[in-house]
Structure 1
Amino acid sequence: MAGMVSNELRRAGDWSKTAQDRCVLNYDERFLRRRVVTTAQGQDILVDLEHTTSLEQGDALVLGDGTLIEIVAAPQTLLQIEGDDLVRLAWHVGNRHTPCQIERTRLLIQSDPVIGHMLEHLGAKVTEVSEPFTPEGGAYGHGRTHSHEHGATAHEH
């Protein structure tokens, strides 16, 4: 696979054949348009997508010969947020436009001492953990974008 290029992405659930390799990338590394990434088997792949894209856990890069390289979210340092009023805590996280992984009994955010301290003052239990980070994509589509152009939305009717 030396010198391989991928300019196509298949979203999780949109591919079924076995991936030949995988790229383990943290949250920031998974936001790209053009960059060389290294697979678990040590192969360099030039990712050259049309637009800056948020790669998500379970997506696959497609190489020129059709080979699939699975995207895996790497463990990274996060803050685990727990508390009696998780909805209120999630509101405060969202109000600061902080990416957040929302689960039934906890929230996960990137390590940010200022936000962690604020949440502790609101009664949250804040614990540092090392886990893959797969936050919510947002109301206007999949993942992160640089633009505020959302196209047609449900509230335009």
Structure 2
Amino acid sequence: MLTAHIYHPHAHAALSDRLILTYEDRFLRRKVLVLASGGTILVDLPKTTSLDHGGVLVTTDGREIAIEAAVEPLLQVTGPDLPRLAWHVGNRHTPCQIETARLLIQPDHVIADMLVRLGARVDEVAEPFTPEGGAYGHGRTHGHDHSHGHGPHDQTHDHGHDH
């Protein structure tokens, strides 16, 4: 069985397989998972990590496994005052994917009812979920360092790309 022990926020080599995981399943430290190819992999990270869509796990033999957000049931929130609606969602510490014309949140009838009372339209959808990382670093991140944890002396380097 393959074993992955390093997580990177982006690929450095050709990808050898994919892991398709829900938002909740992308929080892990040690677990056996099924790859898209049908094989299995033991993820054995030093600490609990939020695996972002687009990141990779590196196996002990150097292969890179792509992390993909799985399609899952969500609520699409739209309305004339999206910033206000986003504030109310964030005020309840609810993971939220913020887009120009909509918000995506996990199904929650209490939050949905509150949003409707605030003038939102709430619709059920099934899509990949990549919420904002926020102050606690869970979910999609827009900025990251390149510390890769290759051993006792972490290596930080520039790949020559912008984030």
The answer to whether the superposition gives a TM-score over 0.5 is: yes
Q: Answer yes or no: is 1:70 the counterpart of 2:66.
A: yes
1:8 maps to what in 2?
Answer: 6
State how far apart, in whole Å, the 2-side matches of 1:142 and 1:29 are: 12
**Where in structure 1 are there 5+ consecutive unaligned residues?**
145-157
2:56 maps to what in 1?
Answer: 60
Distance change (3 Å), C-alpha of 1:120 and 1:142:
closer
When normalised by structure 2's length, the TM-score is: 0.83
Distance change (3 Å), C-alpha of 1:142 and 1:116:
closer
How far the C-alpha of 1:10 sits from its partner, in A, is: 1.1
How far the C-alpha of 1:139 sits from its partner, in A, is: 2.5
How far the C-alpha of 1:143 sits from its partner, in A, is: 3.6
* Secondary structure of 1:87 counterpart: helix
User: What pairs up with 1:143-154 in 2 under 5 angstroms?
Assistant: 143=139
1:105 maps to what in 2?
Answer: 101
State how far apart, in whole Å, the 1-side matches of 2:120 and 2:62 are: 47
* Secondary structure of 1:57 counterpart: coil
| Cα RMSD for the two superposed structures | 1.3
Aligned length: 140
Q: Answer yes or no: is 1:26 the counterpart of 2:22.
A: yes
1:124 maps to what in 2?
Answer: 120
Letter in 2 for 1:118: M
